Amino acid sequence: MKAKVHIRLKQGVLDPQGAAIGRALGQLGFEGVGEVRQGKLIELDVAASDETAAKVEVEAMCEKLLANPVIETYSVSIEA
């Protein structure tokens, strides 16, 4: 099964990379862009018996390694 993990900084956590992207977009002439928040996408192939088991396993990976739960949030989607 394919798993996708979207990781973002929590609201209130400074995002200097997002701010730099926002400034660069303005310098390139893209007007009307508000706050920019940058994140990560991690794609995994998971050998699990069903979607529920795959999601539980990937969420455990997020808690232990892939995301920093102190400053980041994550969402997991599973594709059969």
> 13: domain range?
2-79
* Coil, helix or strand at residue 11: coil
Q: Are 45 and 1 in contact (CB under 8 A)?
A: yes
pTM for this entry = 0.88
Our count of domains for the chain comes to 1
pLDDT digits (tens, 9 = 90+) for 63-78: 999 999 999 999 999 9
CA distances from 26 to 16, 20, 23, 35, 70 (A): 15, 10, 5, 11, 31
Which pLDDT score is estimated for 80? 81
Kindly report the CATH number assigned to the domain that includes residue 61: 3.30.1280.10
* Whole-number pLDDT of residue 4: 98
How do residues 22-66 score in pLDDT, each as one tens digit?
Answer: 999 999 999 999 999 999 999 999 999 999 999 999 999 999 999
Q: What is the mean pLDDT of residues 9-22?
A: 97
pLDDT value of residue 24: 97
